[in-house]
Amino acid sequence: PIGSFMSQAINGSTALLTGTQLAVGGRAEPGGFPPIATTVLLVWLIGTMVLLARMAYGMSRNARILTRGQEVLSGPMSCLAGRLAVKVGLKTVPRLVFSDDAVVPFVWGWKRASVVLPAEAEGWGSGRMETTLLHEFNHILRGDQRFLILATISTALHWLNPLAWLAIRYFKHEAERACTLEAGCAERIK
């Protein structure tokens, strides 16, 4: 009975997927996946590769900004960074780098985090510099740079899902909000 059912199914033009060939009406036709599935897979793969390439470009640009910048090794800025690192609870004082290429302060580095500041930050008052360093040191303490890399990879893999984009947007917003609150400038949050 099973054999006659199978032959009726094949003879009745019912599609039977076996291995990498699609059998239709008793004839084996090469092709593997149906064309729509192949198209969707290719679109997903291209989108994922574009987003991962964009992430890699951004990472290389940040590394380039860090290496081209001028590191703060001593002086009042170094003392302030040391005092604030202890206040926040960091085990080591992060590297401070001033860069002409940086537009806003940011944290960069996987193993040893560095704080990159715009070159114009050298002229900032002590209050603004302290608030900025506290904010960036809190990013380091929380490990936000590592989570952001993982979240970006996850978004690249799930880019077709709108919830992935909402999740990474929410993560970035909440990371900034938490570090701003910790730095003691809650009045700036809108």
Rounded Cα–Cα distance for residues 108 and 81 (Å): 16
Average pLDDT of the chain to the nearest whole number = 82
pLDDT value at 88 more than 70: yes
The per-residue pLDDT for 66 is 92
- Count CA atoms within 13 Å of residue 89 on its CB side: 7
The per-residue pLDDT for 1 is 52
If you write DSSP's letter for every residue of 40-64 in order, what string do you get? Answer: HHHHHHHHHHHHHHHHHHHHHHHHH
Q: Average pLDDT in the 133-139 region? A: 94
The per-residue pLDDT for 29 is 54
Rounded Cα–Cα distance for residues 64 and 54 (Å): 15
Residue with token string 């952001």: 148
Percent of the chain past pLDDT 90, that is, above it, reads 58
Q: Average pLDDT in the 64-90 region? A: 90
Non-local CB neighbours of 14 within 8 Å, separated by 6+ positions: none
Rounded Cα–Cα distance for residues 177 and 183 (Å): 10
pLDDT value at 185 more than 60: no
pLDDT per position as a tens digit, 141-164: 999 999 999 999 999 999 999 999
Rounded Cα–Cα distance for residues 28 and 16 (Å): 10
Q: Average pLDDT in the 182-189 region? A: 55
**157 touches 108 (CB < 8 A):** no
pLDDT value at 3 more than 60: no
- Count CA atoms within 13 Å of residue 138 on its CB side: 18
The per-residue pLDDT for 15 is 44
Q: Which pTM does this prediction carry? A: 0.73
β partners of residue 24 = 27
Helix locations, the chain, DSSP H = 2-11, 35-68, 76-88, 126-142, 144-157, 162-182
pLDDT per position as a tens digit, 39-54: 899 999 999 999 999 9
pLDDT per position as a tens digit, 17-47: 444 444 444 454 555 556 888 889 999 999 9
Higher pLDDT, 176 or 75: 176
